[in-house]
A and B are shown apart, each in its own frame.
Chain A
């Protein structure tokens, strides 16, 4: 057909110019469409060319042999995901399954761990990593990075099976659009992500993926750490009801919207110990806000700023959490079964998976039941709300059980279940 089009275009070019004037409006609109289509295609092709060149600017990594055929490859963007992968690598290693662990950070704690059957390699960041991952040959690749085949990491022809593992206890509703569409399987926490993926597949009429509900490897690691931690209440000299303020970052985050008012109300009250634990990204993206808040609410006997790598100690110290829609809410709920007060924020759905869902996802809907959801007008009443929520926390246990089933089932078994799944997949390849 394209030959016919090209031939017609040629004919069009040799036609006397004023013959176009004889076209009726229908044909006239087609000419307009020709012009629009040609301009659109020209822009698209130019962009594809430029972006293609940009991609080529990335250095070809000389750190990895792309001709080698791997069995299982686990790719991590960096140390922040070590808790996700560690239980799986431990299990694969124990089962004698040859595995290659690639990381994009040379300070990844995984590089320092001794394994028998797991090799470890730093493959660089950005284009260096993309080059390796796009050329790789393996039976199976497992990663937390979403957007396979959409963003820079493409499906390599040499990989038989791509699997994604979720890295937080919330659902994938906040992932960017098409984040999971081109994976062959997804390892999820529970029914909430399973249903969310099925809804997206149905809406987009995309290929059905294998969805394996393994629980949360990351949460299991925190459980282990908590068990062995031996934490004692020593952040404050006096034991009082302790409130942990732990929001997400960005314009829609709690500290950005109501930080000043909330911290003032809590401090003025004088009956609480307060731990403020901003999202680490806040100190990068909202530096001014953080400096202002830390200046207005400096550390005192009753107020601490927590900038530790993990928030376990702060969670351990607190009786209640105040948050927005940060993933830490469910870590807190499942590890400590303590109430969480959340501020209803305007979550930006555009460009994200949430936009294609009929309703709010499970982890948003359940916020009303794991504590109270608040608005700005509730801030002045917050001391009373905190006290009443703590006194009603016994009612939480049934909700926690239900939420665990939906978001992070099989406590303590996620690594084993993930390894079972990986083993079953590679057996069939």
Chain B
């Protein structure tokens, strides 16, 4: 497992360390260097995101094309006969259920970036005890809102709010079930990340702001492509 990590994730981690270190030496702020690193990595990732989005869209389109026929067959055929007719429909569309994984290739390409980032920011000693704007320690949970004698972490809520807005924009292209799922995942993030270091949340909050703008652009572009394709 370590070999896989060394091959796929470690080079990315080194790149992040390089970027964060250089940004810090240029501007002298660990907080801003994390923000700039987040945006730099996201810019590098744009082609990957776009490719992943297109693959997923292709899968959605083919599913949408087959859906009326599959629904029709489900109403009139049963058991083995239904299986044979659906298999034949797949054959007609040159499709196999295993191809659903094709659309997920983008996710698997992104995965080493996620792992590397998490690993890097969990062990990045340079941010420990360092303050940034209203955050007293980037290496600990922010505890910005004192409530009944307990410090409530604000950054996880901020990140989740951005995630929910982004989900709303992105969700326009998805089915109802998929939309519910991404909202649930956004809320799940809040629970899982609530006690994470502020530096990590700062990085991913910026990442999600970027993701929000990326989603707006991608949705518009893919909708335009779909309109052009259907006009033809």
Contact = CB atoms under 8 A, between A and B. Distances in A.
Interface stretch (B16-24, B143-151, B207-215): B207-215
Interface stretch (B28-36, B94-102, B129-137, B224-232): B94-102
Given A25-B185, A351-B85, A18 B192 contact: yes
Given A29-B174, A32-B182, 6 more contacts: A4-B108, A5-B105, A24-B208, A30-B104, A33-B100, A351-B72
Contacts of A22: 114, 117-118, 189, 193, 204, 207
Nearest to A28: B185
B115 interface: yes
Contacts of B211: 24-26
A76 B201 CA distance: 72
B49 interface: yes
A400 B117 CA distance: 79
Interface in B60-112: 72-73, 75-77, 80-81, 83-85, 87-88, 92, 97-98, 100-112
B223 interface: no
Contacts, number: 158
Contacts of A1: 102, 105
Contact of A26 (B100, B112, B215): B215
Given A25-B167, A25-B211, A47-B83, A351 B108 contact: no
Interface stretch (A9-17, A127-135, A236-244): A9-17
Interface stretch (A36-44, A79-87, A167-175, A371-379): A36-44
A178 B73 CA distance: 12
B155 interface: no
Contacts of A19: 114-115, 118
Given A25-B167, A41-B98, A51-B83, A15 B114 contact: yes
B108 A350 contact: no
B109 to A, nearest CB: 8
20 contacts: A5-B105, A7-B4, A11-B108, A16-B115, A19-B114, A22-B114, A22-B117, A25-B171, A25-B182, A26-B53, A26-B214, A32-B178, A32-B185, A33-B59, A33-B103, A34-B107, A37-B104, A149-B88, A178-B88, A351-B76
Contacts of B101: 2, 5, 34, 37
B4 A11 contact: yes
Given A28-B182, A32-B181, A351-B77, A178 B92 contact: yes
Contact of B76 (A10, A20, A348): A348
Interface string B137-177: 00000000000000000000000000100110011001000
Interface string A392-418: 000000000000000000000000000
A21 B117 CA distance: 12
Contacts of B75: 350-351
B58 to A, nearest CB: 12
Given A14-B4, A19-B118, A24-B208, A30 B98 contact: no
A1 B106 CA distance: 12
A204 B92 contact: yes
Contact of A12 (B98, B108, B188): B108
Contacts of B107: 8, 27, 30-31, 34
Contacts of B56: 29-30, 33
Q: 7 closest Cβ contacts across the A-B interface?
A: A8-B108, A37-B100, A351-B76, A24-B211, A28-B185, A21-B192, A30-B107
A97 interface: no
A54 interface: yes
Contacts of B112: 11
B1 interface: yes
Given A4-B105, A12-B108, A40 B185 contact: no
Contacts of A21: 188-189, 192-193
Nearest to B101: A5
Contacts of A178: 85, 88, 92
B211 to A, nearest CB: 4
A165 B114 CA distance: 60
B81 A151 contact: yes
Nearest to B203: A22
Nearest to A17: B192
Nearest to A36: B100
A177 interface: yes
Interface in A309-358: 348, 350-351, 355
B181 A28 contact: yes
Nearest to B1: A14
A206 B208 CA distance: 46
A366 interface: no
Given A29-B170, A37-B100, A41-B98, A24 B106 contact: no
Nearest to B117: A22
Contact of B115 (A7, A11, A351): A11
A226 interface: no
A350 B84 contact: no
Nearest to A150: B88
Interface in A127-181: 149-151, 177-178, 181
Interface in B184-203: 185-186, 188-189, 192-193
A27 B166 CA distance: 12
B186 A28 contact: yes
B68 to A, nearest CB: 10
Contacts of A364: none
Contacts of A29: 56, 170, 174, 178, 181-182
Chain A CB within 10 Å, residue with most, of B81, B110, B114, B214: B114
Contact of A355 (B72, B84, B103): B72
B8 interface: yes
B80 A33 contact: no
A25 B215 contact: yes
A166 to B, nearest CB: 21
B182 A150 contact: no
A29 B81 CA distance: 33
Contacts of B218: 26
Contacts of A18: 118, 192-193
